[in-house]
Amino acid sequence: MYFVAATVCGVAWWRARRDRRIARLAVILGILHAAFFFDVAFHWRGTLYDLLRAEAIANQWYDLRRGPQDGMLVLLAALLLTAIGFARRRYRSTPGAVLAIAGALLSIGCWSVEVISLHATDTVLYHHIGPLPIADFVWALACLMTVIGIWKASGQSGSH
């Protein structure tokens, strides 16, 4: 799904090439989604989590992780909400752009929550609905938001 999102961002860049603001956004989102594609393909997120966990265990911090994890989740939520507010102000005349950015921020948030790996959030994210964990649905929703948003924004730019 991230490969598809990165590809759609590339096509959106082409469609919006005369609108520098939207074309630049399409490039940034395309690079971000390509990075997520490689993250999934090479399991970078899991490797980072394993590294952080091993370091915490080696330094005997692992049993003390709950407070810092809670703090990181609160900080993450504040940063993501601030970023969405900024995007709404910056791209208020291009609603598709706001949807695309919100989708990308949801991906960043989900990625970060998985790395932080608080037991309570993991329980929710990895609860299965049918054959898939909730996390997969969140990832798919995030990609869909970005794809629909950047496609709409590139079409609104008037340079197809």
For residue range 99-121, what is the model confidence (pLDDT) as tens digits? Answer: 999 999 999 999 999 999 999 99
Give Cβ neighbours of residue 24 (< 8 Å, ≥ 6 apart).
none
For residue range 40-53, what is the model confidence (pLDDT) as tens digits? Answer: 999 999 999 999 99
> In the prediction, which pLDDT does 160 show?
41
Low-confidence ranges of the chain (pLDDT < 70): 157-160
Kindly provide the residue ranges of all beta strands, DSSP E only, lying in the chain, ordered along the sequence: 128-129, 132-133
What's the pTM?
0.93
> In the prediction, which pLDDT does 159 show?
44
Total structural domains within the chain: 1
> In the prediction, which pLDDT does 158 show?
55
Range of the domain at 17: 2-156
